[in-house]
Amino acid sequence: MRVIFHFESYIKNLNVDTVCDVAKIIFDSVEFEQVKDEVVKKIQTDFDSAQKFVDEKYEKCRPIHNFRSEWNFESFRAEE
């Protein structure tokens, strides 16, 4: 209870003009920008690798997919 009392008295007397803007400190950090760029690059590389894998492994199935999505039974029945 004592700690809470002291903490509350600190908050009441806190000058908001002198409080640090933590987000600004982080976003202005050169290290943060480097890490962020590395993360974005890694995500892009992973998506590119996944797309390449899909293109190599599943492109041969595209005609089957296209046939299934484009085929119209009613149109086929009308032609008979």
Domain borders along the chain are: 20-79
pLDDT in tens, 9-22: 666 666 666 667 88
Q: State the Cα torsion 66-72-76-78 to the nearest 10°.
A: -150
Angstrom distance (rounded) from CA 47 to CA 53:
10
The reported pTM is 0.53
Q: Determine the pLDDT at residue 14.
A: 65
* Of residues 44, 43, 62, the one with CA closest to residue 54: 62
The answer to which of 1-15, 18-32, 62-76 has the lowest mean pLDDT is 1-15
Please, where are the H alpha helices in the chain? Answer: 2-12, 22-27, 30-58, 62-70, 73-79
Q: Determine the pLDDT at residue 37.
A: 96
> Tokens 């950090």 — which residue?
29
Of the chain, the end-to-end C-alpha distance in Å amounts to: 87
